[in-house]
Amino acid sequence: MKKLGLGILGSGKGSNCRAILEQIGAGKLPAEACLVVSDVFDAGILDIAREFRVPNVYLPPGKFRTRLEPNVETELVRLLQDAGVELVVLAGFMRVLKEPMLTAFPERIINIHPSLLPKFPGIESWKQALAAGEKITGCSVHYVDAGIDSGEIVAQRKVPVLPEDTPESLHVRIQVAERALYPEVIARFCAV
Ligand code: GRF
């Protein structure tokens, strides 16, 4: 079976990226990590890419805080296409994608978010869930559109909120669920 080419984008420590690369390494995910890209020079996700010998690049984001500068986004499309990327996987990428990325990869950009969307989009969703008194929260994989965590939901995993939970303990439990769910969802894309 032909392996699905993945481009993984992240700004942080890269635990989801590690989970995906481990599943590929174990032969459980028929995908190839073609490229890891980060907008943060010293992000852990770039160290993880190097550890797994995946091509990786730091892409200076430009002058905006929440998005890439348009010429940078054009460069990102070129990098991903040149690397043979078929599915763009956002793993803690802290910038909103716009054009030309959305047109270049229609229904081929996915993100993982630490809540049961459409509840609690945006940042620190686990804190929002705890503050709202939720008994169940979780994580969602969704297609990326022009909004914030607003694209069509692909899959979700529930996580209980325990009476003794702190934001930190709840966040850890959600991240464990994320690291199981994301490779499973990517495997579905591989099967198409
Ligand atoms: C994940 O918890 C994900 O929900 C959010 O960003 C976090 C990234 O963590 N979108 P990591 O860099 O994969 O460890």
Confidence of residue 2 (pLDDT cuts 50, 70, 90): confident
Residue 12 has a pLDDT of 97
| Location of structure tokens 């010429």 | 71
The pTM of this model reads 0.97
What is the Å distance from ligand 1's center to 39 Cα?
14
pLDDT tens-digit readout, 122-175:
999 999 999 999 999 999 999 999 899 999 999 999 999 999 999 999 999 999
Q: What is the dihedral of CA 23, 143, 175, 7, to 10 degrees?
A: 40
Determine if the peptide bond prior to 106 is cis (ω within 30°).
Answer: no
**Tell me, what's the pLDDT at 191?**
84
Say yes or no: CB of residue 115 within 6 Å of ligand 1. no
In the residue annotation, 142 being an active-site residue is answered as: no
pLDDT tens string 9-34: 999 999 999 999 999 999 999 999 99
Confidence at 38, pLDDT banded by 50, 70, 90: very high
pLDDT score at 10: 98
Average pLDDT, the chain: 97
Q: pLDDT over 90 for what percent of the chain?
A: 97
Instruction: State whether the beta carbon of 138 lies less than 6 angstroms from ligand 1.
Output: no
Residue the block writes with tokens 């500068």:
69
Ligand 1 pocket, residue 175 CB under 6 Å:
yes
Residue nearest to atom 6 of ligand 1 (CA): 92
Q: With a cut of 80, say whether residue 56 has pLDDT above it.
A: yes
Q: pLDDT-based confidence at 72, cuts 50/70/90?
A: very high
11 CA: nearest ligand 1 atom: 12
Does the beta carbon of 16 sit less than 6 angstroms from any atom of ligand 1? yes
